[in-house]
């Protein structure tokens, strides 16, 4: 028997739907797809940003340039004085350099910043020694190397342009004669050039030491290798090895190795890897890069990069330049091999924002009988001499008097 349809089934006032209702499972599928697309896009953006940050960070290590902008200005100029805006840099006690843009030309000039004469909340007035003073309003910057010229123009010392035979070709160097048979070989750091050693030359010269201030591969004017990148001491130690050979061939009975920043890593890698280090009487290190992983963390923090970026930098450096940071970790190498053979004098400032002071402190704690650490409160990277030149020179003279 046929059943009559109910009104609900055949209500003529309800038109049939032209869009069937989407099942809940289909809506969930579309939502999952949108989430996957959004997360994938976010990951791509994050990886792109991370790659850019890694490229920037490793570029600062492998292709350093003196790209610090003229970040201050000259407010007033007096009789052998200059007034600058009050900043942490302009308030630093000690001796620094001032570089400024010459008025009406693209030429940069420089002078020596001396004592702080007056300071308030807005300005700092300091002594300034300069052949041509800056103009009021000139853009300027403060530099730790003080001078950016040669020994004669900077500190009035006669020198010779020489070259020593490296495995890539002739390596330029400055040679300053002296009365002693032990030479001091100075090795600069990242982007600094030989001018880094100008600060210590007068004191060393007064003590009678001949000085060889060297370049190494990929420096301006020096031979380039196939990579063209800094190797953080991994290959540059061979150039120091050649410089030691040059000194011995030209009458040196022994050498003192003096490394600034990455130059300290070059010195330590030479001592770890060279076949013959018997000529080395002692070692002087200034803000040395003994542990690059710690330095990378410090630089990354200064750049505002998240910590995981720093963790990724080591393999990125290996990919980009072929440098294994474990091979140039001389802090670990000394622990593995029983510590330094030669006595070490180590200068480091507590306000170093590039190479952490803690690494030098660990080195001195590990080998208290071999390493003398001179801690300079408030000094920045390679700024220990600047903060207190008299103390620095005395510590250096006392150490060399015992160990050269």
Short-list 280, 282, 221, CA closest to 252 = 280
The pLDDT of residue 13 is above 60: no
Helix (H, G, I), strand (E, B) or coil at 185: strand
151 neighbors 201 (Cβ within 8 angstroms) = yes
Short-list 150, 145, 112, CA closest to 131 = 112
H-type alpha helices, 65-189? 88-91, 151-155
Mean pLDDT of the chain: 86
Supply the pLDDT for residue 105. 77
Higher pLDDT: 17 or 269? It is 269
246 neighbors 171 (Cβ within 8 angstroms) = no
364 neighbors 371 (Cβ within 8 angstroms) = yes
What DSSP letter does each residue of 44-74 carry, written as one string?
HHHHHHHHHHHHHHHHHHHS--------EE-
- Residue 9: pLDDT band (50, 70, 90) is very low
Q: How many of the other CB atoms lie within 10 Å of CB of 29?
A: 11
Please give the distance of CA 193 from its chain centroid, rounded to a whole number.
Answer: 12
Q: How many of the other CB atoms lie within 10 Å of CB of 349?
A: 25
Q: Residue 376's beta-bridge partner residues?
A: 349
- Residue 148: pLDDT band (50, 70, 90) is confident
Structure confidence by residue, pLDDT tens digits, 187-241:
999 878 999 999 999 999 999 999 999 999 999 999 999 888 888 999 999 999 9
Supply the pLDDT for residue 387. 95
Q: Which of 56-60, 71-75, 116-120 has the lowest mean pLDDT?
A: 56-60
148 neighbors 195 (Cβ within 8 angstroms) = yes
318 neighbors 62 (Cβ within 8 angstroms) = no
Supply the pLDDT for residue 65. 57
Q: Residue 257's beta-bridge partner residues?
A: 185, 283
In angstroms, the CA 26 to CA 240 distance is: 70
Short-list 151, 132, 159, CA closest to 199 = 151
In angstroms, the CA 262 to CA 233 distance is: 7
Count of alpha carbons within 13 angstroms of residue 7, beta-carbon side: 1
The pLDDT of residue 49 is above 70: no
Supply the pLDDT for residue 293. 87
Supply the pLDDT for residue 40. 52
Supply the pLDDT for residue 3. 47
Spatial strand order of the sheet with 280-286 comes to 160-166, 169-176, 211-214, 182-187, 254-260, 280-286, 344-349, 371-376
317 neighbors 323 (Cβ within 8 angstroms) = yes
To the question of pTM greater than 0.85 for the whole model, the response is no
- All domains in the chain, ordered by first residue: 72-143 (2.40.10), 151-291+329-402 (3.40.50.1820)
Q: Which helix (H) or strand (E) holds 226?
A: none
Q: Which residue has the tokens 């403060």?
A: 142
Structure confidence by residue, pLDDT tens digits, 284-338:
999 999 998 888 888 777 767 666 666 677 776 776 777 888 888 999 999 999 9
Higher pLDDT: 36 or 357? It is 357
Structure confidence by residue, pLDDT tens digits, 67-103:
567 899 999 999 999 999 999 899 998 999 999 988 7
Supply the pLDDT for residue 12. 47
Angle at the Cα of 154 from the Cα atoms of 131 and 187, rounded to 5 degrees: 150
Alpha-carbon dihedral of residues 87, 88, 93, 96, nearest 10 degrees?
-80
Helix (H, G, I), strand (E, B) or coil at 219: coil
Q: Residue 277's beta-bridge partner residues?
A: none
């Amino acid at each position: 028997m046929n059943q009559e349809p109910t009104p609900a089934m055949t209500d003529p006032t309800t038109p049939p739907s032209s869009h069937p209702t989407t099942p809940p499972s289909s809506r969930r599928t579309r939502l999952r797809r949108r989430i996957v697309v959004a997360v994938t896009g976010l990951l791509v953006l994050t990886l792109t940003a991370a790659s850019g940050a890694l490229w920037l960070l490793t570029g600062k290590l492998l292709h350093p340039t003196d790209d610090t902008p003229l970040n201050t200005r000259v407010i007033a100029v007096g009789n052998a004085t200059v007034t600058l805006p009050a900043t942490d840099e302009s308030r630093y006690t000690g001796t620094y350099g001032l570089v400024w843009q010459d008025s009406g030309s693209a030429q940069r000039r420089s002078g020596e910043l001396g004592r702080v004469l007056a300071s308030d909340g807005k300005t700092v007035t300091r002594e300034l020694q300069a052949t041509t003073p800056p103009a009021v309003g000139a853009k300027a910057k403060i530099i730790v190397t003080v001078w950016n010229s040669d020994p004669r123009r900077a500190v009035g010392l006669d020198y010779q342009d020489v070259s020593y035979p490296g495995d890539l070709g002739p390596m330029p160097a400055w040679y300053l004669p002296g009365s002693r048979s032990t030479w001091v070989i100075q090795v600069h750091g990242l982007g600094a050039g030989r001018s880094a050693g100008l600060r210590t030359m007068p004191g060393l010269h007064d003590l009678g030491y001949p000085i060889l201030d060297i370049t190494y591969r990929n420096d301006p004017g020096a031979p380039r290798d196939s990579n063209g990148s800094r190797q953080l001491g991994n290959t540059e130690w061979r150039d120091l090895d050649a410089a030691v050979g040059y000194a011995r061939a030209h009458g040196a009975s022994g050498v003192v190795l003096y490394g600034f920043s990455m130059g300290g890593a070059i010195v330590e890698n030479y001592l770890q890897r060279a076949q013959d280090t018997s000529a080395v009487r002692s070692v002087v290190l200034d803000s040395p890069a003994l542990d690059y992983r710690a330095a990378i963390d410090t630089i990354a923090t200064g750049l505002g990069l998240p910590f995981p970026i720093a963790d990724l930098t080591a393999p990125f450096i290996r990919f980009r330049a072929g440098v294994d940071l474990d091979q140039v970790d001389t802090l670990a190498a000394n622990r593995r091999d029983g510590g330094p053979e030669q006595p070490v004098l180590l200068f480091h400032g507590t306000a170093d924002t590039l190479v952490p002071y803690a690494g030098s402190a660990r080195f001195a704690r590990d080998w208290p009988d071999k390493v003398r650490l001179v801690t300079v409160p408030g000094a920045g990277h390679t700024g220990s001499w600047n903060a207190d030149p008299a103390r620095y020179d005395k510590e250096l003279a006392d150490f060399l008097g015992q160990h050269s």
